[in-house]
Amino acid sequence: MTTYLLAGGGTAGHVNPLLAVADGLRARDPQAQVLVLGTREGLEARLVPQRGYELLTVEKVPFPRRPNGAALAFPVRFPRAVRRVRGFIRKHGVDVVIGFGGYAAAPAYVAARRERIPFIVHEANARPGMANVLGARTAAAVGVAFPGTPLRGGEVVGMPLRREIVELDRAAMRAEAAAEFGLDPARPVLLVFGGSLGAQRLNEALEGSWRDILDGGWQILHATGDRSEMADPGADGYTMRRYLDRMDLAFALADLILSRAGAATVSEISALGIPAVYVPYAVGNGEQRLNASAAIDAGAAIVIDDARLTPDRIRTELVPLLRDEQRRATMRRAAEQVGSRTGTEDVIALADRVLAR
Protein backbone atom coordinates (compact mmCIF):
# COMPACT_ATOMS: atom_id res chain seq x y z
CA MET A 1 0.00 0.00 0.00
CA THR A 2 1.33 3.44 -0.98
CA THR A 3 0.94 6.36 1.42
CA TYR A 4 0.70 9.83 -0.08
CA LEU A 5 0.99 13.10 1.81
CA LEU A 6 -0.57 15.99 -0.11
CA ALA A 7 0.54 19.36 1.25
CA GLY A 8 -0.93 22.78 0.59
CA GLY A 9 -3.86 25.00 1.25
CA GLY A 10 -4.86 28.45 2.35
CA THR A 11 -6.88 29.41 -0.71
CA ALA A 12 -9.11 27.60 -3.18
CA GLY A 13 -6.31 27.86 -5.75
CA HIS A 14 -4.23 25.48 -3.64
CA VAL A 15 -6.98 23.36 -2.07
CA ASN A 16 -9.02 22.47 -5.17
CA PRO A 17 -6.20 20.93 -7.23
CA LEU A 18 -5.00 19.12 -4.10
CA LEU A 19 -8.44 17.58 -3.59
CA ALA A 20 -8.71 16.68 -7.28
CA VAL A 21 -5.48 14.69 -7.04
CA ALA A 22 -6.58 13.13 -3.73
CA ASP A 23 -9.83 11.99 -5.35
CA GLY A 24 -7.92 10.66 -8.35
CA LEU A 25 -5.58 8.63 -6.16
CA ARG A 26 -8.43 7.20 -4.12
CA ALA A 27 -10.48 6.35 -7.22
CA ARG A 28 -7.55 4.54 -8.80
CA ASP A 29 -6.58 2.57 -5.69
CA PRO A 30 -9.02 2.48 -2.77
CA GLN A 31 -6.32 0.80 -0.67
CA ALA A 32 -3.92 3.75 -0.98
CA GLN A 33 -3.61 5.96 2.07
CA VAL A 34 -4.10 9.62 1.18
CA LEU A 35 -3.29 12.15 3.90
CA VAL A 36 -3.47 15.94 3.64
CA LEU A 37 -1.22 18.44 5.37
CA GLY A 38 -2.58 21.93 5.91
CA THR A 39 -3.17 24.62 8.50
CA ARG A 40 -6.03 25.23 10.90
CA GLU A 41 -6.68 28.66 9.39
CA GLY A 42 -6.92 27.83 5.69
CA LEU A 43 -9.82 26.72 3.55
CA GLU A 44 -8.53 23.16 3.83
CA ALA A 45 -9.58 23.03 7.49
CA ARG A 46 -13.19 22.85 6.30
CA LEU A 47 -13.00 21.28 2.85
CA VAL A 48 -10.59 18.39 3.48
CA PRO A 49 -12.56 16.67 6.29
CA GLN A 50 -15.77 17.27 4.33
CA ARG A 51 -14.28 15.24 1.47
CA GLY A 52 -13.37 12.40 3.83
CA TYR A 53 -9.61 12.83 4.16
CA GLU A 54 -7.55 13.02 7.32
CA LEU A 55 -6.13 16.52 7.79
CA LEU A 56 -2.80 16.79 9.55
CA THR A 57 -2.10 20.34 10.63
CA VAL A 58 1.04 22.39 10.87
CA GLU A 59 1.62 25.89 12.18
CA LYS A 60 1.16 28.69 9.68
CA VAL A 61 4.64 30.17 9.24
CA PRO A 62 4.87 32.85 6.52
CA PHE A 63 8.25 33.50 4.93
CA PRO A 64 9.58 36.81 6.28
CA ARG A 65 9.32 39.62 3.75
CA ARG A 66 10.19 42.54 6.03
CA PRO A 67 11.91 42.99 9.38
CA ASN A 68 9.20 42.58 12.02
CA GLY A 69 8.15 40.30 14.86
CA ALA A 70 7.21 37.47 12.50
CA ALA A 71 10.64 37.62 10.89
CA LEU A 72 12.33 37.39 14.29
CA ALA A 73 10.21 34.35 15.19
CA PHE A 74 10.75 32.56 11.85
CA PRO A 75 14.06 30.85 12.78
CA VAL A 76 12.27 29.15 15.68
CA ARG A 77 8.82 28.51 14.22
CA PHE A 78 9.81 27.12 10.81
CA PRO A 79 12.15 24.38 12.11
CA ARG A 80 9.42 23.46 14.60
CA ALA A 81 6.97 23.05 11.72
CA VAL A 82 9.48 20.91 9.83
CA ARG A 83 9.98 18.66 12.86
CA ARG A 84 6.22 18.21 13.14
CA VAL A 85 5.94 17.14 9.49
CA ARG A 86 8.87 14.73 9.89
CA GLY A 87 6.93 13.17 12.73
CA PHE A 88 3.90 12.71 10.48
CA ILE A 89 6.04 11.14 7.75
CA ARG A 90 7.53 8.61 10.17
CA LYS A 91 4.27 7.82 11.96
CA HIS A 92 2.30 7.15 8.79
CA GLY A 93 5.09 5.67 6.68
CA VAL A 94 4.68 8.27 3.93
CA ASP A 95 6.18 7.18 0.60
CA VAL A 96 5.90 10.44 -1.36
CA VAL A 97 4.90 14.06 -0.74
CA ILE A 98 3.00 16.07 -3.34
CA GLY A 99 2.94 19.81 -2.63
CA PHE A 100 0.64 22.43 -4.11
CA GLY A 101 2.04 25.59 -2.54
CA GLY A 102 0.81 27.55 0.44
CA TYR A 103 1.98 27.65 4.04
CA ALA A 104 1.97 23.89 4.57
CA ALA A 105 4.02 23.09 1.49
CA ALA A 106 7.37 24.61 2.47
CA PRO A 107 7.88 22.63 5.69
CA ALA A 108 6.63 19.51 3.89
CA TYR A 109 9.31 19.87 1.21
CA VAL A 110 12.08 20.32 3.77
CA ALA A 111 10.79 17.46 5.91
CA ALA A 112 10.60 15.10 2.93
CA ARG A 113 14.14 15.93 1.91
CA ARG A 114 15.45 15.30 5.44
CA GLU A 115 13.53 12.04 5.67
CA ARG A 116 14.95 11.05 2.28
CA ILE A 117 11.62 10.46 0.59
CA PRO A 118 10.77 12.00 -2.80
CA PHE A 119 8.57 15.03 -3.13
CA ILE A 120 6.78 16.58 -6.09
CA VAL A 121 5.86 20.22 -6.61
CA HIS A 122 2.76 21.35 -8.51
CA GLU A 123 2.39 25.04 -9.34
CA ALA A 124 -1.04 26.29 -10.39
CA ASN A 125 -0.10 29.86 -11.30
CA ALA A 126 2.01 31.10 -14.17
CA ARG A 127 4.00 33.13 -11.62
CA PRO A 128 5.03 30.69 -8.87
CA GLY A 129 4.84 31.27 -5.15
CA MET A 130 7.90 31.35 -2.93
CA ALA A 131 7.34 27.93 -1.35
CA ASN A 132 7.28 26.24 -4.74
CA VAL A 133 10.23 28.23 -6.07
CA LEU A 134 12.33 26.97 -3.18
CA GLY A 135 10.90 23.46 -3.28
CA ALA A 136 11.49 23.03 -7.02
CA ARG A 137 15.25 23.28 -6.52
CA THR A 138 15.45 19.81 -4.96
CA ALA A 139 12.13 18.20 -5.96
CA ALA A 140 12.04 14.81 -7.62
CA ALA A 141 9.60 16.24 -10.19
CA VAL A 142 7.92 19.56 -10.86
CA GLY A 143 4.59 19.98 -12.63
CA VAL A 144 3.18 23.31 -13.82
CA ALA A 145 -0.25 24.25 -15.07
CA PHE A 146 0.85 26.80 -17.67
CA PRO A 147 3.66 26.87 -20.26
CA GLY A 148 6.48 29.26 -19.43
CA THR A 149 6.11 29.04 -15.65
CA PRO A 150 9.62 29.82 -14.34
CA LEU A 151 10.26 26.79 -12.12
CA ARG A 152 13.37 24.66 -12.34
CA GLY A 153 12.59 21.38 -14.07
CA GLY A 154 8.95 22.29 -14.63
CA GLU A 155 6.87 20.03 -16.89
CA VAL A 156 3.49 21.18 -18.20
CA VAL A 157 0.93 18.82 -16.68
CA GLY A 158 -2.05 21.15 -16.61
CA MET A 159 -4.39 21.83 -13.71
CA PRO A 160 -6.03 19.05 -11.71
CA LEU A 161 -9.72 19.86 -12.11
CA ARG A 162 -12.92 18.98 -10.31
CA ARG A 163 -14.51 15.79 -11.60
CA GLU A 164 -17.77 17.57 -12.44
CA ILE A 165 -15.82 19.85 -14.80
CA VAL A 166 -13.71 17.09 -16.35
CA GLU A 167 -16.78 14.99 -17.13
CA LEU A 168 -19.08 17.85 -18.18
CA ASP A 169 -20.97 17.35 -21.43
CA ARG A 170 -22.03 20.92 -22.12
CA ALA A 171 -24.42 20.16 -24.96
CA ALA A 172 -26.19 17.43 -23.03
CA MET A 173 -26.56 19.62 -19.94
CA ARG A 174 -27.65 22.85 -21.65
CA ALA A 175 -31.40 22.34 -21.26
CA GLU A 176 -31.05 21.47 -17.56
CA ALA A 177 -28.77 24.46 -17.05
CA ALA A 178 -31.19 26.84 -18.74
CA ALA A 179 -34.01 25.59 -16.53
CA GLU A 180 -31.85 26.01 -13.42
CA PHE A 181 -31.17 29.66 -14.21
CA GLY A 182 -34.47 30.57 -15.85
CA LEU A 183 -32.99 31.28 -19.27
CA ASP A 184 -33.81 30.21 -22.84
CA PRO A 185 -31.56 27.36 -24.04
CA ALA A 186 -32.06 28.47 -27.65
CA ARG A 187 -30.50 31.92 -27.11
CA PRO A 188 -26.81 32.61 -26.43
CA VAL A 189 -25.64 33.33 -22.89
CA LEU A 190 -22.87 35.56 -21.54
CA LEU A 191 -21.58 34.25 -18.20
CA VAL A 192 -20.05 36.90 -15.93
CA PHE A 193 -18.34 36.15 -12.61
CA GLY A 194 -15.46 37.36 -10.51
CA GLY A 195 -14.96 34.67 -7.87
CA SER A 196 -16.85 33.90 -4.68
CA LEU A 197 -16.54 37.48 -3.43
CA GLY A 198 -17.32 38.95 -6.83
CA ALA A 199 -15.46 41.68 -8.68
CA GLN A 200 -16.66 45.24 -8.26
CA ARG A 201 -15.15 46.33 -11.57
CA LEU A 202 -17.08 43.68 -13.51
CA ASN A 203 -20.29 44.47 -11.63
CA GLU A 204 -20.02 48.19 -12.33
CA ALA A 205 -19.31 47.60 -16.01
CA LEU A 206 -22.37 45.34 -16.33
CA GLU A 207 -24.56 47.71 -14.36
CA GLY A 208 -24.08 50.36 -17.03
CA SER A 209 -24.20 48.12 -20.10
CA TRP A 210 -26.51 45.15 -19.57
CA ARG A 211 -29.25 46.65 -21.74
CA ASP A 212 -26.86 46.81 -24.70
CA ILE A 213 -26.03 43.11 -24.26
CA LEU A 214 -29.69 42.11 -24.11
CA ASP A 215 -30.47 44.34 -27.09
CA GLY A 216 -27.85 42.38 -29.03
CA GLY A 217 -29.92 39.23 -28.63
CA TRP A 218 -27.90 37.73 -25.79
CA GLN A 219 -28.85 36.64 -22.28
CA ILE A 220 -26.77 37.20 -19.15
CA LEU A 221 -25.98 34.92 -16.22
CA HIS A 222 -24.21 37.14 -13.70
CA ALA A 223 -22.68 36.07 -10.37
CA THR A 224 -22.11 39.31 -8.48
CA GLY A 225 -20.43 37.89 -5.37
CA ASP A 226 -21.57 37.73 -1.78
CA ARG A 227 -20.44 41.27 -0.93
CA SER A 228 -22.06 43.00 -3.87
CA GLU A 229 -24.79 45.58 -3.32
CA MET A 230 -25.71 45.69 -7.00
CA ALA A 231 -29.49 45.66 -7.47
CA ASP A 232 -31.08 42.99 -9.64
CA PRO A 233 -32.80 44.78 -12.56
CA GLY A 234 -35.27 41.90 -12.89
CA ALA A 235 -35.10 42.05 -16.68
CA ASP A 236 -36.15 39.16 -18.91
CA GLY A 237 -33.03 37.33 -20.06
CA TYR A 238 -30.85 38.60 -17.18
CA THR A 239 -30.35 36.19 -14.27
CA MET A 240 -28.40 37.58 -11.34
CA ARG A 241 -27.12 35.45 -8.47
CA ARG A 242 -24.85 36.31 -5.57
CA TYR A 243 -23.12 32.97 -5.87
CA LEU A 244 -23.28 30.02 -8.29
CA ASP A 245 -23.49 26.72 -6.44
CA ARG A 246 -23.52 24.80 -9.73
CA MET A 247 -20.65 26.14 -11.77
CA ASP A 248 -20.88 23.06 -13.97
CA LEU A 249 -24.36 24.13 -15.08
CA ALA A 250 -23.21 27.73 -15.52
CA PHE A 251 -20.38 26.54 -17.77
CA ALA A 252 -22.79 24.28 -19.68
CA LEU A 253 -24.88 27.32 -20.56
CA ALA A 254 -22.08 29.77 -21.35
CA ASP A 255 -21.36 30.73 -24.96
CA LEU A 256 -18.90 33.43 -23.89
CA ILE A 257 -17.40 34.24 -20.49
CA LEU A 258 -16.36 37.55 -18.92
CA SER A 259 -14.31 36.89 -15.79
CA ARG A 260 -11.17 37.33 -13.77
CA ALA A 261 -8.17 35.18 -14.69
CA GLY A 262 -7.41 33.05 -11.68
CA ALA A 263 -5.46 29.89 -12.46
CA ALA A 264 -8.37 27.52 -11.85
CA THR A 265 -10.80 29.77 -13.74
CA VAL A 266 -8.59 29.93 -16.84
CA SER A 267 -7.87 26.20 -16.69
CA GLU A 268 -11.53 25.23 -16.40
CA ILE A 269 -12.69 27.59 -19.15
CA SER A 270 -9.93 26.43 -21.50
CA ALA A 271 -10.57 22.76 -20.72
CA LEU A 272 -14.22 23.23 -21.68
CA GLY A 273 -13.39 25.08 -24.89
CA ILE A 274 -15.30 28.26 -24.06
CA PRO A 275 -14.14 31.60 -25.55
CA ALA A 276 -13.44 34.19 -22.89
CA VAL A 277 -12.75 37.83 -22.14
CA TYR A 278 -10.41 38.04 -19.16
CA VAL A 279 -10.08 41.03 -16.85
CA PRO A 280 -7.02 40.22 -14.71
CA TYR A 281 -7.18 41.36 -11.10
CA ALA A 282 -4.91 44.37 -10.84
CA VAL A 283 -3.74 43.70 -7.26
CA GLY A 284 -0.96 41.21 -6.61
CA ASN A 285 2.14 40.26 -8.57
CA GLY A 286 0.51 40.15 -12.00
CA GLU A 287 -0.03 36.40 -12.07
CA GLN A 288 -3.57 36.63 -13.44
CA ARG A 289 -2.45 38.20 -16.71
CA LEU A 290 0.23 35.53 -17.02
CA ASN A 291 -2.32 32.79 -16.29
CA ALA A 292 -4.34 33.93 -19.28
CA SER A 293 -1.42 34.50 -21.64
CA ALA A 294 -1.42 31.03 -23.24
CA ALA A 295 -5.15 31.26 -24.04
CA ILE A 296 -4.72 34.81 -25.35
CA ASP A 297 -1.70 33.90 -27.48
CA ALA A 298 -3.62 30.95 -28.94
CA GLY A 299 -6.55 33.19 -29.88
CA ALA A 300 -8.93 31.54 -27.41
CA ALA A 301 -9.42 34.68 -25.33
CA ILE A 302 -8.91 38.42 -25.24
CA VAL A 303 -7.88 40.58 -22.31
CA ILE A 304 -9.15 43.92 -21.04
CA ASP A 305 -7.18 45.69 -18.34
CA ASP A 306 -9.06 46.16 -15.09
CA ALA A 307 -8.78 49.96 -15.20
CA ARG A 308 -10.17 50.05 -18.76
CA LEU A 309 -13.26 47.93 -18.14
CA THR A 310 -16.12 50.42 -18.26
CA PRO A 311 -19.68 50.33 -19.61
CA ASP A 312 -18.40 52.10 -22.73
CA ARG A 313 -15.71 49.44 -23.16
CA ILE A 314 -18.36 46.74 -22.96
CA ARG A 315 -20.30 48.50 -25.71
CA THR A 316 -17.31 49.09 -27.98
CA GLU A 317 -15.41 45.79 -27.54
CA LEU A 318 -17.57 43.10 -25.97
CA VAL A 319 -20.88 43.75 -27.76
CA PRO A 320 -19.26 43.59 -31.23
CA LEU A 321 -17.73 40.24 -30.23
CA LEU A 322 -21.16 38.98 -29.21
CA ARG A 323 -22.42 39.84 -32.70
CA ASP A 324 -19.49 38.14 -34.48
CA GLU A 325 -20.30 34.43 -34.57
CA GLN A 326 -17.38 33.63 -36.89
CA ARG A 327 -14.85 35.22 -34.56
CA ARG A 328 -16.27 33.41 -31.53
CA ALA A 329 -16.16 30.10 -33.42
CA THR A 330 -12.47 30.68 -34.13
CA MET A 331 -11.87 31.42 -30.44
CA ARG A 332 -13.79 28.30 -29.48
CA ARG A 333 -11.64 26.09 -31.71
CA ALA A 334 -8.50 27.66 -30.27
CA ALA A 335 -9.71 27.05 -26.71
CA GLU A 336 -10.20 23.38 -27.46
CA GLN A 337 -6.54 23.17 -28.44
CA VAL A 338 -5.07 25.04 -25.49
CA GLY A 339 -7.10 23.44 -22.70
CA SER A 340 -6.58 20.11 -20.94
CA ARG A 341 -8.81 17.86 -18.84
CA THR A 342 -6.04 15.45 -17.79
CA GLY A 343 -4.24 17.48 -15.11
CA THR A 344 -5.14 15.07 -12.31
CA GLU A 345 -3.92 12.02 -14.20
CA ASP A 346 -0.75 13.82 -15.26
CA VAL A 347 0.18 14.79 -11.69
CA ILE A 348 -0.47 11.22 -10.53
CA ALA A 349 1.76 10.01 -13.38
CA LEU A 350 4.57 12.17 -11.97
CA ALA A 351 4.15 10.44 -8.62
CA ASP A 352 4.16 7.01 -10.28
CA ARG A 353 7.34 7.86 -12.14
CA VAL A 354 9.09 9.10 -9.03
CA LEU A 355 8.07 6.08 -6.96
CA ALA A 356 9.26 3.69 -9.69
CA ARG A 357 12.80 4.99 -9.53
Per-residue pLDDT reduced to its tens digit, 96-123: 999 999 899 999 999 999 999 999 999 9
Judged by DSSP in three states, 158 sits in: coil
Whether residue 70 has pLDDT greater than 70 = no
Q: Which CATH number is 3-161+341-356 given?
A: 3.40.50.2000
Confidence of residue 13 (pLDDT cuts 50, 70, 90): confident
Per-residue pLDDT reduced to its tens digit, 175-233: 999 999 999 999 999 999 986 555 889 999 999 999 999 999 999 999 998 788 888 99
User: Rounded CA gap, 14 and 85, in Å?
Assistant: 19
Where do the structural domains in the chain lie, given as residue ranges?
A: 3-161+341-356, 164-338
Give percent of the chain above pLDDT 70.
95
- From residue 32, alpha-carbon distances to 2, 5, 17, 53, 186 in Å are 5, 11, 18, 12, 46
- What is the reported pLDDT for 65? 66
DSSP state of 230: P
Residues in CB range of 261: below 8 A, 6 or more apart: 278, 279, 280, 281, 288, 289, 291, 292, 303
Per-residue pLDDT reduced to its tens digit, 238-273: 999 998 989 999 999 999 999 999 999 999 999 999
Give the burial class of 242: count Cβ atoms within 10 A of its Cβ; 0-12 exposed, 13-18 middle, 19 or more buried. middle
Task: Check for a shared fold between 3-161+341-356 and 164-338.
Answer: yes
Look up residue 8 and give its amino acid: G
The fold of 164-338 is Rossmann fold (3.40.50)
